[in-house]
Amino acid sequence: MTRRSWRPSHLTALAAVGALALAACTPPDGSGEPTPSETVPTAEPSTDMPSETPSPTSTAEPLGWGPTEDEVDDAIAVAAEMTPEDVAGQVILARFPGTEPADAAAVLSADHLAGVVVFGGNVASAEQVADTAEAVQEAQGELGRDWPAIIAVDNEGGLVQRLSAATGDWTSFPPFMAAGAADDADVVTAAAEAMATELRATGINYDFAPVADVTIGAADPIIGDRSPSGDPERAARAVTAAVQGFADGGVLSSLKHFPGHGSLTVDSHEDLPTQSASAEELADRDLVPFQVGVDAGAPTVMMGHIAVEAWDPGVPASLSPEAYQVLREDLGFTGVAITDALDMGALTQTRTSDEIAVEALAAGADLLLGPVDVAEAQHGIVSALEDGSLDRERVNEAAGRVIALMRWQADEAERIGPVSVAESDSGGAASQALSAAAVTVVQGTCGGALAGPRIHVRGGTADDWDAFVDAAEQVGLQVVPLEQPADTSVRLLTSVTPSGTADVAISLDAPWLLTGTDAPVRIAAFGRTAGAFEAVAAVLAGDAPAPGSLPIEVDGLAATSC
Q: Are residues 506 and 373 in the same domain?
A: no
pLDDT bucket at 464, cuts 50 / 70 / 90: very high
286 carries an active-site annotation: no
* Residue 21 confidence (pLDDT) above 50: no
Does 35 map to a domain? no
**Catalytic-labelled residue, pool 131, 183, 340, 425:** 340
pTM of the model: 0.89
Give the β-pairing of 419-420 and 2-3.
antiparallel
Does 555 map to a domain? no
Residue-wise pLDDT for 44-69, tens only, equals: 333 333 344 444 444 478 899 999 99
Q: Are residues 402 and 470 in the same domain?
A: no
Which helix (H) or strand (E) is 415 found in, with range? helix 392-416
Does 357 map to a domain? yes
Q: Are residues 393 and 356 in the same domain?
A: yes
**Catalytic-labelled residue, pool 29, 269, 330, 543:** 269
With a CB cutoff of 8 Å and minimum separation 6, the contacts of 17 are none
Question: Pick from 356, 383, 417: which residue ends a domain?
Answer: 417
Q: Between vectors from CA 49 to CA 46 and to CA 55, what angle results, nearest 5°? A: 110
pLDDT at 40: 31
Task: Locate the DSSP E strands across 201-327.
Answer: 206-207, 254-258, 274-275, 300-303, 307-308
Q: Which of 182, 172, 176, 171 is nearest to 156 (CA)?
A: 176
Does 106 map to a domain? yes
With a pLDDT cut of 70, the percent of the chain lying above it is 90
Residue-wise pLDDT for 165-207, tens only, equals: 999 999 999 999 999 999 999 999 999 999 999 999 999 999 9
Mean pLDDT of 532-551: 98
Domain limits at 508? 439-540
Q: Which of 442, 427, 426, 430 is nearest to 181 (CA)?
A: 442
Q: Are residues 461 and 388 in the same domain?
A: no
pLDDT at 23: 31
Q: Which CATH number covers residue 281?
A: 3.20.20.300
340 carries an active-site annotation: yes
Tell me if 107 sits within 8 A of 113, measured CB to CB.
Answer: yes
Enumerate the β-bridge partners of residue 367: 338
